Structure 1
Amino acid sequence: MSMRLVFMGTPDYAVPTLRALADAGHEIVAVYSQPPRPAGRRGLETRPSPVHAAAAELGIEVRTPTSLRGEDEQARFAALEADAAVVVAYGLLLPQAILDAPKHGAWNGHASLLPRWRGAAPIQRAIMAGDGETGVMVMKMDKGLDTGAVALTEKVAIPVDRTAGELHDQLSQLTARLMVEAMARLASDGMLDTVAQPEDGVTYAAKIDKAETRIDFSRPAREVHDHIRGLSPFPGAWFLLSLGGEPERVKVLASSLSAEAPGHAPSGTFIDNHLTIACGEGAIRLERLQKAGGKPLAASDFLRGSAVPAGTVAG
């Protein structure tokens, strides 16, 4: 049985869910997404969001309001007479009038095990904190920030070398599958059983700030490694490297924990010729790097163009 759905989402993460719902036979009466943003260095052109582009390809009406607080915009939404709204990484707060308009409410696919990592950057924060597990939850939305009661949950392990980009892709597909299941149950039974989130264990996944992307090698090796992989590929953790000239900013897109003991080398010092660097405790090896304006390179390729001898200190 199909339903009339409004889909609300913006980034790449949400696209698989939009496509999966369409493939499942639901009537998606409108897609809401963030407005097109400036593209290119000069910002002279605008680019639609990934969800906007996918919806246009599917022939679905796209709406891009900057706010849903106005009565006129809320009336336009209500006039769609949707059975449910599906929300995945939309980026705008939904007023109560929007939440109440669909017959069966609004349902959100969130990439964490709530109440841990409510908010904007749950994937990055889970990795940066060294979590060994995360998952996806489908919840019925209320006016709080990711506080709604949970209907479906699926957990996944986070391997020690998994990057945020890799986990993003895995969870986006899982979100699509769980949301299709949720809408199928809602269409069949007219309801979804939900469980309130526990009051203990609440953490917030604040948006990544550029100020926190610089690598601090004085931290223990595991924390440095988690910081690097949690910010890979975007925005990318970085350090300054000086090889006789002006210091260059170098992003680290992959690293590994090293068994090599740093001895008495100060943190931030390369302890061999293979990009192994001392941390506050232990050491890591830099596996994939990118200079400003350059391409991502494996460590061996990076060293062919820029030898980094033991004793070099990262800034």
Structure 2
Amino acid sequence: MRKLKIIFMGTPEFAVGILDNIIGNQYEVAAVVTAPDKPAGRGQKIKYSAVKDYALQKDLPVLQPTNLKDEAFLAALKSFGANLHVVVAFRMLPKAVWDMPEYGTFNLHASLLPQYRGAAPINWAIINGETRTGVTTFFIDDKIDTGAIILSSETSISETENAGELHDRLMDIGQATVVRTLELIASGDVRTHVQTDSDDLKTAYKLHRDNCKIDWEKPGKEIHNLIRGLSPYPAAWCFFDDGATPQQIKIYDAAFEQAAHQQTPGSLKTDRKTISVAVKDGFVHILSLQLPGKKKMTAAELLNGMAFAQESKFC
């Protein structure tokens, strides 16, 4: 049985649960590599990554390189004498990093590779209306998310699940998958298989302002999937136009009702508790949303203090 000495690389909360489970299973983590500190929020206070916060609590050495090819960083990395690198939600690594340890570098990716290679696999699986997803461990090579697969674990996606809920479930599934991967590597019994590309591959593109905007001309189910696929972060958005200056709003939770009607897509109907937006094949019922400068609230809470003008619409 090989004794593993691990360098862990990751940044967000998703990676923290994996790291915690590695330590909880008595594997030696020599150090952590994570993103540099950066200012955040209105006060622009320096913010640590979730992984750094956790590493400091566990008294783990932390490396925060701005340049992964920097000689000083590579020397520091090598000095820990690790024989395996484990990567969860980090940056693309140069060969000098992923080829360094004796037993290689493996990554946990939140999709069933080769589907949804890229930055936002959890979000895009829901946005595209998938009913199945999972996690995959694979050995890193010189391309993004293309290396030889070690293990995959599959799960279903419900029609109402949002990205935050799926994130938490995949983190739990990922914890077990990473530990099983470590067991295989420690025993020298890894059996990998090469990823096979096909014409139906879908990509997990990086999320940005444009691909998070709601197009109310699209079918209601697609809009509903976009909203839940971007909830709670970064959140789907649109403009609210009440005849004055349009305001950008975020929508966090909704339900779709298929129905025939004659209303213009984007037009609103409300009562004291509900906000419904017309789409071409029915209505999207808004359950929670956020106006500029306000806290997130339910539709009922918003309507309790606000009356919608007759010409109001989402656009």
1:50-82, CA deviations, whole angstroms, 9 ceiling, x for partnerless residues?
Answer: 000100101100000012113332232223221
Q: CA deviation at 1:309?
A: 6.7
Q: CA deviation at 1:8?
A: 0.1
Counterpart residue identity of residue 38, structure 1: P
1:270–1:309 CA contact under 8 A, matched in 2: no
1:140 has 2:139 as partner: yes
Q: CA deviation at 1:262?
A: 4.7
1:270-289 equivalences under 5 Å are 270-273=268-271, 274-289=274-289
The structure 2 residue matched to 1:269, chosen from 253, 267, 270, is: 267
Q: Identity of counterpart residues, as a percentage?
A: 34
Q: Quick one: structure 1 residues 212 and 142, their matched pair in 2 at CA, closer, same or farther if it must change by over 3 Å?
A: same
TM-score relative to the length of structure 2 = 0.93
Aligned position for 1:31 = 32
Cα distance in 2 between the residues matched to 1:253 and 1:78: 44
Aligned position for 2:174 = 175
Counterpart residue identity of residue 118, structure 2: G
2:172 aligned counterpart, secondary structure: helix
1:192 aligned counterpart, secondary structure: coil
Cα distance in 2 between the residues matched to 1:306 and 1:240: 17
Q: Which moved more, 1:278-287 or 1:235-244?
A: 235-244
Report the count of equivalent residues.
Answer: 311
2:242–2:313 CA contact under 8 A, matched in 1: no
1:275-307, CA deviations, whole angstroms, 9 ceiling, x for partnerless residues?
Answer: 121113222111111112222212222221223
Cα distance in 2 between the residues matched to 1:305 and 1:192: 61
1:216–1:224 CA contact under 8 A, matched in 2: yes
Aligned position for 2:122 = 123
Aligned position for 1:8 = 9
Q: Which moved more, 1:242-251 or 1:105-114?
A: 242-251
- Unaligned 5+ residue runs, structure 1? none
1:89 has 2:86 as partner: no
2:237 aligned counterpart, secondary structure: strand
Cα distance in 2 between the residues matched to 1:262 and 1:314: 19
- RMSD in angstroms over aligned alpha carbons? 1.7
Q: CA deviation at 1:169?
A: 1.3
Cα distance in 2 between the residues matched to 1:81 and 1:284: 56
Q: Which moved more, 1:140-149 or 1:305-314?
A: 305-314
1:60-71 equivalences under 5 Å are 60-71=60-71
1:94-243 equivalences under 5 Å are 94-187=93-186, 189-200=187-198, 201-243=200-242
Cα distance in 2 between the residues matched to 1:243 and 1:312: 4
2:232–2:252 CA contact under 8 A, matched in 1: yes
Cα distance in 2 between the residues matched to 1:61 and 1:7: 11
Cα distance in 2 between the residues matched to 1:239 and 1:147: 35
Q: Which moved more, 1:28-37 or 1:123-132?
A: 123-132
Counterpart residue identity of residue 108, structure 2: G
2:16–2:54 CA contact under 8 A, matched in 1: yes
1:134-160, CA deviations, whole angstroms, 9 ceiling, x for partnerless residues?
Answer: 100011111110001111111111111
Q: Which moved more, 1:298-307 or 1:79-88?
A: 298-307
Task: List 4+ stretches of structure 1 deviating above 3 A.
Answer: 242-246, 307-312
Cα distance in 1 between the residues matched to 2:189 and 2:46: 40
Aligned position for 1:49 = 49
Cα distance in 1 between the residues matched to 2:19 and 2:309: 50
Aligned position for 2:299 = 299
Q: CA deviation at 1:36?
A: 0.5
1:304 aligned counterpart, secondary structure: helix
- Unaligned 5+ residue runs, structure 2? none
Counterpart residue identity of residue 252, structure 1: I
TM-score relative to the length of structure 1 = 0.93
